[in-house]
Structure 1
Amino acid sequence: MDLLLQNVWNTFFDCLLLVNEEGSILDLNRPAARLFSGSPHTLIGSSVFELIPSEEFKKSLQNRKGKTGVPISLGTQQLVGNISFLEESGCYLLALKNITQTQQLQHQIQELHEVMQRFDLILDQLDEGVCVIDQHGKILFYNRKMGEVDLLEPESVRNRRVQDVWNVDETTSTLLTALRTGRTLSQRETHFATNGKAVTTLTKTVPLYMGARKSGAMEICKDISEQKQLTETIMQLQKQNPGESAAPSSLQAKNNTRFHFTSIIFSSREMRQTVEQARRAARSGSNILIVGETGTGKELFAQSIHNESPRKQKPFIAQNCAALPETLLEGLLFGTTVGSFTGAVDRAGLFEQAHGGTLLLDEVNSMGIDLQAKLLRVLQERKIQRLGSSKTVDVDVRVVATINEDPLEAIANGRLREDLYYRLGVVNLVIPPLRNRKDDIPVLIRHFIEKHAKALDVTVEGIEPDVFQFFMNFPWPGNVRQLEHVIEGCLNLVYDERTICFDHLPPILKQKMLQRAIPPAEEQLSRLDGSLPEQIEKLERLMIEQALKESGGNITKASEQLGISRQNLNYKLKKYKFFG
C-alpha cells in the first residue's frame, strides 16, 4: 500500500482491519491498533478471533458475505462492526465503530428524561398551580392544578407562547413582566372562570436565573376560594354562637339547654344505673366521655349533666365535630385574630365563649388527629391560643365529649388519640342501645305518642298488639331516635283510628314485620299433613300470605283480593298469630 493510501487509511476515526478468510490480520490502521492496545507491526498476522472472542462475529466473517451492524463487546467497550467481503482478493474489510460513549450519552439522556418525567409527576400532585416559561416566553411547564384554576388542559398549553394562550402582552402578563424586569411579583385577585365560578387566587411570580443569565420565569398560584368561603362561614358561625358580646344576665337566664335528668324516659335497670352515674358525675368539674350508638340520647345526657352541675348558670355550648372541616373547626374552637388567614377578624372561639360553663364536643372521633393533639394541649394547660396570635388566654371549661363507637376500637383504627381518650374519659358513661334495654320500649312508646299526638291534634290510645310485639322484638339500629321518628310518622297517617296498626308503619318496617311473621311457603307446604280442618287452616294461611305480599302489606287491598272484609282479615291475622 503506497504512502498516500496509507495516510488516508490511518486518518479514519473508525477502526479498519483487513483480514483473510482464516481470520489472520493482514493490515490495520492506527485507531484499530489503539483499540487492541498494540502496534500495527505486532498485531499483523495475529488472529482477529482471539482479539474479538465472539461466536456471532466469527460466523459473520466466514460466510463470504457482507454484513452491517454486528454488535461486538470488547471488555467495557461496545462496538458495532460492518463487514465487507472483497471478492478480488478474497479478504474481508472490517470497519469497527466504538459506540461506548454514544451509548453512555444515550443512557444519560434517558435518565434525564425519566428524572424530568418524575418531577413533572411530582409537581402535578401539588395543590399549587405552577407555570414556567423560558427566556422567549414559551411555556415549558404547566401543571394539573394550574389547569384546574384556568380551566385549561396542560397539554394544550405547553410549548406555546404566553401571548398565544392568553390575551396578554409584556405589560399585562405577570410572567412576562417578571421576565422583563427581573422583579418578584405578588398579588391576589378574583376572576370568573369560563363556567361562571368565582376563583380567588394568590400568585407569586419570580424570574429564573442560570448563574447571571436570565433563563425564564415561574409563577406559583394558590387557589384560596375555599379558604375564603370558610372564612366567611366561620365569621357567620361566630355571629350565630353566643359570644363575649352577650350580656352576663342573658347567659344566666338561658344557658342554651332544653333537657334535665327528668327528660330522660326509662324504666330499665340498665338506664337507671347510667342515669345515677351521670347525676353523681355532674357534681364535679371533671371531663366526661359519653359512649353510645347514634340515637341513644348522648346530648340529652350532656345537657342534663350541665343543668345538674355547679356550672348550670354558665353557658352550655355544643359543637358537632363531624359537621365541619378541620380548618374551620380549629378556628371555631380556639378563635381567630386579624391576619391569621385571609379575611380573619378578632373572634372568640367556643372555648372562650363557654368560659365557666360546659363545652360539648359531639362525635369527637370525627375530629382530625392533628386537631386532637391541639385539643389535648388545651385540656392539659387550660389555656387557648387564637389562630395567628401568640397570646394565651386562660379558660375554665368542662368538656363533655361523645363518641358513637367503642373508644378502644377508635384508637386501634387511628380515629382517636389514646392520650386524648384518657384525658377526656376521666368519667366514662356508656349509654346502652335500645335493643339491650327492651323494658324501656313500652314507656318510650307511650311518651312519644303523648308528645306527638298532641302536636298533631290526633287522639291515639296506643298501638295494636301485633305491632307492639314487633316493636319489642325489633333491634332498632337507630335506637330511641328511630323509635320516636317511627311513632311520629305513624301518627301522621292516623285518620280516625284509635290505635297505631300495621297500615301506619313505614314501608321498610312493614316488610321487616312480614318477613318475621310469615314463614316461607315451601316450608308450610311441606307440613300439609293432619286432619282436613288443619289442612284448610294451613291453606288459608298461605292464601293470606300471598295476598299480603302482592299488596305490599296493605291489609285493605289484601282483604279485597281475598274477597273478605278488612275486619275479618284482621281477625284471621290475629287468629293465626302472624305477628306474634
Structure 2
Amino acid sequence: MTESSQPLLADVWNHSFDCVIVVNEEGTIISLNRTAARLFLGSPSTLVGSSIYEVIPTEDFKKNLQKKGITGISISIGTKQLVGNVLFLEPPDSAAKHVLFFKDISHVQQLNAQIQELNKTKQLFDSILDMLEEGICVIDNHGTILFYNRSAGELDTLEPESVRGNRVQDIWNVDNNTSTLLTSLRTGRTLNHRETQFTTNGKAVTSLIRTVPLFLDQRTVGAMEISKDISEQKQLTKTIMQLQKQNKGEPLSSLPIQKNNTRFHFDHIIFSSREMAHTVEQARRSARSKSNILIVGETGTGKELFAQSIHNESPRENKPFIAQNCAALPESLLESLLFGTTVGSFTGAVDRSGLFEQANGGTLLLDEINSMGTSLQAKLLRVLQERKVQRLGSTKILNIDVRVIATMNEEPLEAISNGRLREDLYYRLGVVNLVIPPLRNRKEDIRILTDYFIKKHAKLLDVYVDGLEPDIYQFFMNYHWPGNVRQLEHVIEGSLNLIYDERTIGYDHLPPVLKTKIRHQETTLQTDEASFNYSGSLTEQTEKLERTMIEQAMKNTNGNITKAGEQLGISRQNLNYKLKKYSIYA
C-alpha cells in the first residue's frame, strides 16, 4: 500500500455507514471508525484501548467473538438494535484480530412496528367496510382495484379476493369512456345518482351508484364507487307510478274515484263541533287561492280528506291531484319520483316525468313532509321558490304551475327544533296553516260520526243496527281516541262484522283493546266508590271528585297541563281555571 493511498482509505473508513471496530484476541479495541464512535457516544481517541466487552456488555456477544468468524449477530444496547458480522484475521506477520461490522437497525425496526400497526388498522377498516350493505370498490390512479367488499361481490356475483389487484378493464367489459370509476378518475368529477341495470343469474338488478375521485395533496390518487341494490325499491316505484295512472279498479272507499284522482269534497267531512266548523271554513277560504298549504294534524284526523276537498273547491278542480307519501320511499328514489329522469343521462335511465310535471296545473299532496330528508327538502324549496323543475340528468328547465299541499303529524316548531323540517321550507309551505283538532278535543262530533259510520258500513255488510248501547256510547265519549276518526271508523266497522241479530253495538262486539280499557275503568270506579266519603252536599261531593280527578291526571302526566286536559277531556284553558280554583300547583 502506498503512502498516497492511506488518506483515501482513511476517508472511506470514516465515511462508511456501517460501524467498523478492530479488536485483538483479548477484546481490546485497536481501532474504530467515526460511525462506530458515534454509535457508542464517544470518539476514537477515548474508545481505543478500552475493552469491547465493556462497550457491549452481553454474554452472547462475548461467546460469538470467541468464534473464528460469524455472521448475523443480533445485539441490543439500550433502545438500539444492532446486527453485525465478525471477521477473524490471522496475518502471518502480526497478532490475530477480530474485525466487527455493525449496522444500527433501530429505525428500521420502528418502521416495521409502525407498518404492523398500520396493517392492523387497515384490516380493521377493511372488516368494517366489508360489513356495509353498500358495495364499495376503490381503484388507484392506474385503474388497479385496491379494495372490493363483500356487498359489491354479492351485487356483481364475483369473489372479492379474485377482483382485488386486477385492473378494472380485466374484470368488467369497460373502457375509459364507459367505466364510471375510470371516468371519475380521469375527469376528477363526482358522478351522483346513476342507475345501472343488468342481469345476473337470470334476475334483473338495478343498482344506484355514486362515484367520487380520491385526492391526496390536491393530486388525484384514485376513485371510489359506492353501489346499492335498489331493485325492490325500483319495482315499488314502478308499481306506485302505475297505480297513480289507473282510474279503474275497486276503490278503497265506497266513493268513486273522479277523473282528477280524488274522491272527497267538503260535504264528505262529517262534524257538528264549533272547532271543526272553524277549520272547515278556513279550508274553504284557502281553496280559492294558489298559495301553498300546510295541514297539521295527528294520525287519523283526515288530512288527505281536507287536501282533496281543497283541490275540488279550487279553480284547479279539473286538473290532476297527485298524492305522495314522503315516508314510503328512500330519499334517492323519492327525488327521481318527484323531479323525473331523462333517457340517456346514465346507464339504464328512462325518460320519465316527475310528479311535479304530472301535477302541472293541479295540486301535489306531499304527505308526511317531515319524513323527507333535509337535503331533498332544500331541493324542494328551490322548486317552490322558482316554480321550475329540472329532471335528474337533464339540463332542460321546465316551468311548472303546481299548488303544493303538505301534511305532517307533529308540531312544525318541534319538527324544526329536532332537525326533521327545514325552517325556510316551513315558511314557504305554511303560507296557509290548517290545524285539524284531534277527536278528543271535539267529542261532540263522536255522536254524528258514529251514526255516519254505522250507516255506511251496515249497508256494505248487509246488517241493520240502530246504534250503540248507552254504556258503550258513554265509554266512547270518555275515551281519548289516539287514532282519532280513523280509529273510530275501524272500531265501528269491526264491531259490525260481529253483529248477528243484535240491533245495537255492545261490549261483546268491541275489539279487545277497548274491552280491556272498559274493564280497567270499572275496576278503578269500584275502588274509588269503596273509598269515597259520601258525607256533604252534592256540590261539595262533585267538587271533591273533580279535584281528585284533576290531581290524578296531573300526577299521571307529570304536571303537563296540555296532556292532563286531554286525559280529562277538557281544554287547557278550562283546566288552568280549575287548577287555580282548587289551588292545585303544576
In the superposition, the TM-score normalised over structure 1's length comes to 0.65
Establish whether residue 382 from structure 1 lines up as the match of residue 399 from structure 2.
no
Corresponding residue of 2:403: 398
CA distance in 2, matches of 1:387, 1:280: 36
The alpha-carbon deviation at position 308 of structure 1 amounts to 2.4
CA distance in 2, matches of 1:71, 1:464: 97
Establish whether residue 192 from structure 1 lines up as the match of residue 187 from structure 2.
no
Corresponding residue of 2:185: none
* Code of the aligned partner of 1:263: H
Establish whether residue 350 from structure 1 lines up as the match of residue 355 from structure 2.
yes
Q: Do the aligned partners of 1:130 and 1:142 also contact (CA within 8 Å) in 2?
A: yes
- The secondary structure found in structure 2 opposite 1:518 is helix
CA distance in 1, matches of 2:364, 2:171: 54
Sort the Cα spacing of 1:20 and 1:369 in 2 relative to 1 into closer, same or farther, 3 A: same
The alpha-carbon deviation at position 198 of structure 1 amounts to 3.8
Establish whether residue 336 from structure 1 lines up as the match of residue 341 from structure 2.
yes
CA distance in 1, matches of 2:39, 2:78: 12
The alpha-carbon deviation at position 234 of structure 1 amounts to 6.9
Corresponding residue of 1:148: 154
The alpha-carbon deviation at position 112 of structure 1 amounts to 6.0
CA distance in 1, matches of 2:209, 2:293: 46
CA distance in 2, matches of 1:109, 1:304: 69
Establish whether residue 457 from structure 1 lines up as the match of residue 465 from structure 2.
no
The alpha-carbon deviation at position 374 of structure 1 amounts to 1.8
Matches within 5 A, 1:288-437: 288-437=293-442
The alpha-carbon deviation at position 107 of structure 1 amounts to 4.2
Sort the Cα spacing of 1:69 and 1:259 in 2 relative to 1 into closer, same or farther, 3 A: same
CA distance in 2, matches of 1:519, 1:253: 50
Corresponding residue of 2:213: none
- The secondary structure found in structure 2 opposite 1:442 is helix
Sort the Cα spacing of 1:17 and 1:438 in 2 relative to 1 into closer, same or farther, 3 A: farther
Question: Deviations along 1:307-339, whole A, 9 cap, x unmatched?
Answer: 222333333222222223333333332333322
Question: Deviations along 1:515-552, whole A, 9 cap, x unmatched?
Answer: 2222499x6999799xxxxxxxxxxxxxxxxxxxxxxx
Corresponding residue of 1:475: 480
Q: Do the aligned partners of 1:336 and 1:387 also contact (CA within 8 Å) in 2?
A: yes
Q: Do the aligned partners of 1:290 and 1:403 also contact (CA within 8 Å) in 2?
A: yes
Match of 2:104 among 98, 103, 114: 98
Corresponding residue of 1:236: 242
Q: Do the aligned partners of 2:247 and 2:261 also contact (CA within 8 Å) in 1?
A: no
Match of 1:270 among 275, 290, 293: 275
Sort the Cα spacing of 1:463 and 1:20 in 2 relative to 1 into closer, same or farther, 3 A: farther
Q: Do the aligned partners of 1:175 and 1:218 also contact (CA within 8 Å) in 2?
A: no
Sort the Cα spacing of 1:448 and 1:122 in 2 relative to 1 into closer, same or farther, 3 A: closer
* Code of the aligned partner of 2:321: F
Corresponding residue of 2:284: 279
Q: Do the aligned partners of 1:189 and 1:202 also contact (CA within 8 Å) in 2?
A: no
The alpha-carbon deviation at position 439 of structure 1 amounts to 1.4
Sort the Cα spacing of 1:499 and 1:378 in 2 relative to 1 into closer, same or farther, 3 A: same
CA distance in 1, matches of 2:139, 2:411: 51
Q: Do the aligned partners of 2:136 and 2:225 also contact (CA within 8 Å) in 1?
A: yes
Match of 2:170 among 171, 175, 185: 175
Unpaired segments of 5 or more residues in structure 1? 1-6, 84-91, 163-172, 205-216, 243-251, 530-580
CA distance in 2, matches of 1:105, 1:468: 82
CA distance in 1, matches of 2:529, 2:308: 56
Unpaired segments of 5 or more residues in structure 2? 1-8, 66-72, 87-97, 181-195, 211-221, 249-256, 534-586
Sort the Cα spacing of 1:445 and 1:524 in 2 relative to 1 into closer, same or farther, 3 A: closer
Matches within 5 A, 1:244-255: 254-255=259-260
Establish whether residue 71 from structure 1 lines up as the match of residue 79 from structure 2.
no
Deviates more, 1:12-21 or 1:332-341: 12-21
Match of 1:487 among 486, 492, 502: 492
* Code of the aligned partner of 1:192: T
Question: Deviations along 1:120-177, whole A, 9 cap, x unmatched?
Answer: 46875694553879x9xx997542233222456645x478999xxxxxxxxxx95179
Sort the Cα spacing of 1:19 and 1:126 in 2 relative to 1 into closer, same or farther, 3 A: farther
The alpha-carbon deviation at position 261 of structure 1 amounts to 1.9
Q: Do the aligned partners of 2:340 and 2:354 also contact (CA within 8 Å) in 1?
A: yes
Sort the Cα spacing of 1:325 and 1:139 in 2 relative to 1 into closer, same or farther, 3 A: closer
Corresponding residue of 2:262: 257
* Code of the aligned partner of 1:43: L
CA distance in 2, matches of 1:203, 1:361: 27
Corresponding residue of 2:39: 35
CA distance in 2, matches of 1:451, 1:38: 106
Sort the Cα spacing of 1:44 and 1:292 in 2 relative to 1 into closer, same or farther, 3 A: same
Question: Deviations along 1:199-251, whole A, 9 cap, x unmatched?
Answer: 467999xxxxxxxxxxxx99979566638647755763564489xxxxxxxxx
Sort the Cα spacing of 1:159 and 1:309 in 2 relative to 1 into closer, same or farther, 3 A: closer
* Code of the aligned partner of 2:48: I
CA distance in 2, matches of 1:302, 1:495: 38
Deviates more, 1:257-266 or 1:93-102: 93-102
Corresponding residue of 1:44: 48
* Code of the aligned partner of 2:105: I
Question: Deviations along 1:387-409, whole A, 9 cap, x unmatched?
Answer: 33322222222211111111111
Q: Do the aligned partners of 1:130 and 1:145 also contact (CA within 8 Å) in 2?
A: no
* Code of the aligned partner of 1:308: E
* Code of the aligned partner of 2:137: V
CA distance in 2, matches of 1:427, 1:314: 21
Sort the Cα spacing of 1:468 and 1:82 in 2 relative to 1 into closer, same or farther, 3 A: farther
Q: Do the aligned partners of 2:32 and 2:48 also contact (CA within 8 Å) in 1?
A: no
Q: Do the aligned partners of 1:332 and 1:350 also contact (CA within 8 Å) in 2?
A: yes
Question: Deviations along 1:476-500, whole A, 9 cap, x unmatched?
Answer: 1110000000001101110111110
Sort the Cα spacing of 1:285 and 1:457 in 2 relative to 1 into closer, same or farther, 3 A: same
* Code of the aligned partner of 1:35: L
CA distance in 2, matches of 1:110, 1:311: 70
CA distance in 1, matches of 2:385, 2:145: 53
Q: Do the aligned partners of 2:323 and 2:364 also contact (CA within 8 Å) in 1?
A: yes
- The secondary structure found in structure 1 opposite 2:341 is coil
Q: Do the aligned partners of 1:201 and 1:221 also contact (CA within 8 Å) in 2?
A: no
Establish whether residue 130 from structure 1 lines up as the match of residue 129 from structure 2.
no
Q: Percent same amino acid among aligned pairs? A: 62
Deviates more, 1:381-390 or 1:31-40: 31-40
Q: Do the aligned partners of 2:82 and 2:104 also contact (CA within 8 Å) in 1?
A: yes
Sort the Cα spacing of 1:336 and 1:198 in 2 relative to 1 into closer, same or farther, 3 A: closer
Deviates more, 1:94-103 or 1:426-435: 94-103
Sort the Cα spacing of 1:271 and 1:178 in 2 relative to 1 into closer, same or farther, 3 A: closer
CA distance in 2, matches of 1:396, 1:185: 38
- The secondary structure found in structure 2 opposite 1:429 is strand
- The secondary structure found in structure 2 opposite 1:296 is coil
- The secondary structure found in structure 2 opposite 1:318 is strand
Deviates more, 1:389-398 or 1:359-368: 389-398
The alpha-carbon deviation at position 343 of structure 1 amounts to 4.4
